[in-house]
Structure 1
Amino acid sequence: MIRFITAEQTLPLRSEVLQNGIDYTKCLFDHDLYPTTFHMGYFEEDKLVCILTCMQENHGKLPKSAYRLRGMATAPEGRRKGYAAQLLLAAMEHLRSQLHIDYLWFNARTIAFPFYEALGFEYMSDEFDIPGIGPHREMFKML
């Protein structure tokens, strides 16, 4: 089941999957509490197994109304079940139909390139390194 969640609910998965298990209270992004930011989660029964955050932020290469995807993570036991794709598609539908946003963009980790490509996202940068995290590329999709 997909539903909107709080920023605090995202923290344990962000810590486990994206931040090598650091104290989850240090995984809060500055934009997490902005009124235009939203968080969604996929629940397997009552357990939160996949999360994402979308924040209002335009990208300089595409001068239109945009949101940025941040902190998408899936627990190991929730992988390869289609949860992440369902969650991202639900977020894009919300952006398109409720917020009337033109595109979604983000920095994708190299390991996730095939996942995002399969959902129709395109590259808009060469590969670059985020210190302490690894190689990424900017990706986007018009909504």
Structure 2
Amino acid sequence: MIRFISLQDTLALRSLVLRNGLAEQECINPQDLLPETFHLGYFDENNKLVCVLTCQKERHPKLPHEAYRLRGMATHPEARRKGYAKQLMLAAMEHIKNQLHVPYFWFNAREVAYPFYESLGFEYMSDEFDIPGIGPHKEMFKLL
């Protein structure tokens, strides 16, 4: 089941999956606290939170209209390859398009996730670049 969650709910998975066990409070982005930012979570059949994502309103200079940016998407290692992340992304895109009426969704994709985002129809809008301590990324976007 997919539902809106709090910032605090996202932090354990962000720490585990994205930040190599960094203290949870160190996994907070300044934009997490803005009123237009939202967090979604996927709960498995045992009501365990297994996948999270955050979306923040942030225009990108390469896009012609306002946009939302994906941040902090993380799936528990034991819950991968079950379609949870795909369902969560589709729910986020539907909310952004139909409820918030924002036409673009973008993010910095980790190299390991390029095929996943390509399968959802996202396109590249940058060459690969390195984020120190995290690794190779490319900017990706999709017109909703």
Question: Structure 2 length as normaliser, TM-score?
Answer: 0.98
Secondary structure of the equivalent of 2:89? Answer: helix
**Which residue pairs with 1:73 in the alignment?**
74
What TM-score, normalized to structure 1? 0.99
- Residue type matched to 1:30 in 2? P
Partner of 1:8: 8
Relative to structure 2, which stretch is displaced further, 20-29 or 89-98? 20-29
Runs of 4+ with >4 A deviation: none
Where structure 1 has 5 or more consecutive residues not aligned to the other structure, the ranges are none
Residue 41 of structure 1 corresponds to which residue in structure 2?
41
Return the offset for 1:77: 1.2
- Aligned partners of 2:77 and 2:110: how far apart in 1? 17
Equivalent position of 2:113 in the other structure: 112
Aligned length: 143
Query: How big is each residue's C-alpha offset from its partner over 1:45-82, in whole Å with a ceiling of 9 and x where there is no partner?
Result: 22100000000001000120200000000001110000
Question: Residue type matched to 1:13 in 2?
Answer: L
Match of 2:56 in 1: 55
Aligned CA RMSD, in angstroms, stands at 0.5
Which residue pairs with 1:32 in the alignment?
32
Q: Which runs of 5+ in 2 are unaligned?
A: none
Q: Which amino acid aligns with 2:15?
A: S
- 1:139 is matched with 140
CA distance in 2, matches of 1:47, 1:34: 26
Secondary structure in 2 matching 1:112: helix
Percent identical pairs in the alignment equals 69
What is the SS of the residue equivalent to 1:61?
coil
**Counterpart of 1:66 in structure 2: which amino acid?**
A
AA aligned opposite 1:15: S
SS in 2 for 1:126: coil
